[in-house]
Structure 1
Amino acid sequence: MYQEEEEEDVSKRVSLLSVDSGIEKDLSDMEEREQRNPFTRSWSPCFRGRMKPEDKMAQENIKGPTSSTPLPKEEGNHTARIVMMGDDRVLGRLAKAYHSIRKREAKHLILTKRLNLQIYYIPVTDEPIVNSPESTSQVGDRLSLASFLGRVDPWYESNINSLGAMIPKLAGTQSSHSRSSEPNHFLVDVLSYYLRCGLQPVHFTLYSVKISVSGQTGSPVDEVFVSHLDAEFPEFKTLRENLRQERSSRRRTRKTLGTCGAVVSMNYSKVSLSKQEVVQGRSVMTCGVVISAISPNETEGLDFLTVNFDSTNPRCCTEIRTQNIKIRILEDKTFTVCLDKDCRRKYTHVQSIEISPCLDPGYCLQTSSKFSVGEEREAGLSKYMCKILPLPINTFTGINH
Structure 2
Amino acid sequence: MESSDVELDLLRSVQAVLRELSTQAPMLQGNQGMWRWSLHKKVERDPGKSPALVRILLRELEKAEREDLRHVLIPLLHTLMYVLVKATGITEELYRRTYTFCTRLLTLPTPYCTVALDCAIQLKTETAVPGTLYQRMVLAEQNLISELHPYQERVFLFVDPELVSASVCSALLLEIQAAEVQQTPEACMRHVVSHALQAALGDACQAATVHKKLQASPRRTLELYFHAVVAAVERMANEPSPNRAGHQERLEEIYCSLLGPLAAPRGPCSCDPPPDRPPSIPLPSPHITFHLWTDEEQLWKELVLFLRPSSHLHLSADLEALDLQGLPPDRELARVSVLSTDSGIERDLPSGPDELPAPSSPETERAGLQRKGGIKKRTWLPGLLLPGSWLGAPGLHQRTGGPGGDGELLPGISRVHTARVLVLGDDRMLGRLAQAYYTLRKRETQKFCLTPRLSLQLYYIPVLAPEGSSTSRQLELGELAAFLGRADRWYHSTVNTLCPAIHKLAEMPPSWDTCQTVDPFILDAITYYIRMGTQPIYFQIYAVKIFFSDLSREPEEDVFLTELKAKIQDSRFPKDGCPAKKRGVAEGQGAELSICYQKALLSHRAREVTVSLRATGLVLKAIPASDTEVSGPTHPPRTAAPVTDHTCLNVNVTEVVKSSNLAGRAFSTVTNTFRTANIWIQSQDQKLLTLWLDKDHRRTFKDVVRFEVTPCPEPCSGTQKSKASWLGSHQQNQMEATKANPTPLLMPINTFSGIVQ
Structure 2 length-normalised TM: 0.37
In the alignment, the residues of structure 2 paired with residue 185 and residue 309 of structure 1 have an alpha-carbon distance, to the nearest angstrom, of 47
Distance 1:91 1:315, change over 3 A: closer
Same amino acid, percent of matched pairs: 37
The answer for the alignment partner of 1:292 in structure 2 is 621
More deviation in 326-335 or 311-320?
A: 311-320
Instruction: Map residues 1-400 of structure 1 onto 2, 5 A cutoff.
Output: 76-128=415-467, 135-175=470-510, 182=517, 185-217=520-552, 219-235=554-570, 260-297=589-626, 298-299=629-630, 300=643, 303-313=647-657, 318-362=672-716, 366=720, 370=724, 378-380=733-735, 383=738, 387-399=743-755
- Deviation for aligned residue 1:113: 2.4
- Residues 39-79 of structure 1 show CA distances to partners (whole Å, capped at 9, x for unaligned) of xxxxxxxxxxx87669xxxxxxxxxxxxxxxxxx9775310
Deviation at 1:400, TM superposition (A): 8.6
AA aligned to 1:78 is H
Residue type at the aligned position of 1:144: E
Alpha-carbon offset, residue 362 of structure 1? 3.7
- Residue of structure 2 in register with 1:66 after alignment: none
Cα distance change of structure 1 residues 398 and 378 upon mapping to structure 2, 3 Å threshold: farther
Aligned to 1:311, the other structure's residue is in SS state strand
Can you list the C-alpha shifts for 1:328-357, whole angstroms capped at 9, x where unaligned?
Answer: 001112111010000111111111110000
CA 1:273–1:192 in structure 2 vs 1: closer, same or farther (change >3 Å)?
same
- Pick the structure with more helix per residue: 2
Query: 2:501·2:522 contact (CA, 8 Å) conserved in 1?
Result: no
Task: Name the one with the larger strand percent.
Answer: 1
Contact (CA 8 Å) 1:224, 1:358: kept in 2 or not?
yes
Runs of 4+ with deviation above 6 angstroms:
256-259
Distance in 2, matches of 1:107 and 1:400, equals: 37
Larger Rg: 1
Q: Equivalent residue of 2:593, what SS? A: strand
| Counterpart-to-counterpart distance in 2, 1:179 and 1:87 | 31
Bigger mean CA offset, 377-386 vs 334-343: 377-386
CA separation in 2, counterparts of 1:146 and 1:100? 24
Displacement, 1:278?
A: 1.1
Report the Cα offset of residue 369 of structure 1: 5.5
Instruction: Tell me, yes or no, if the aligned pair for 1:88 and 1:142 is still in contact at 8 Å.
Output: yes
Distance 1:274 1:129, change over 3 A: farther
Deviation of 1:88 after TM superposition, in Å, equals 0.5
Shift of 1:154: 0.8
Aligned to 1:17: none
TM-aligned CA distance change 1:369 to 1:92, over 3 Å: farther
Instruction: List per-residue Cα deviations over 1:262-290 (Å, max 9, x = no partner).
Output: 11111000113433331011112111111
Could you tell me whether the CA contact under 8 Å between 1:80 and 1:117 is conserved in 2?
A: yes
* Cα deviation digits, residues 118-142 of structure 1 (max 9, x gap): 1110000133256xxxx32321110
> For the Cα contact (< 8 Å) 2:654–2:669, is it kept in 1?
no
For the structure 1 residues 122 and 183, does the alpha-carbon distance in structure 2 shift closer, same or farther, using more than 3 Å as the test? same
Instruction: Give the Cα–Cα distance (whole angstroms) in 1 for the partners of residues 738 and 566 of structure 2.
Output: 36
Q: CA deviation at 1:108?
A: 2.2
Give ranges in structure 1 of 5+ residues lacking alignment.
Answer: 1-49, 55-72, 237-255, 372-376
Sort the Cα spacing of 1:369 and 1:159 in 2 relative to 1 into closer, same or farther, 3 A. Answer: same
Between the aligned partners of 2:486 and 2:669, the Cα distance in structure 1 is 33
3-state SS in 2 of match to 1:82: strand
Task: Return 5+ residue gaps in structure 2 as ranges.
Answer: 1-354, 360-411, 572-584, 631-642, 658-667, 726-731
Question: Would the alpha carbon gap of residues 87 and 280 (structure 1) be closer, same or farther in structure 2, given more than 3 Å must change?
Answer: same
Higher relative contact order (CA 8 A, sep 6+): 1
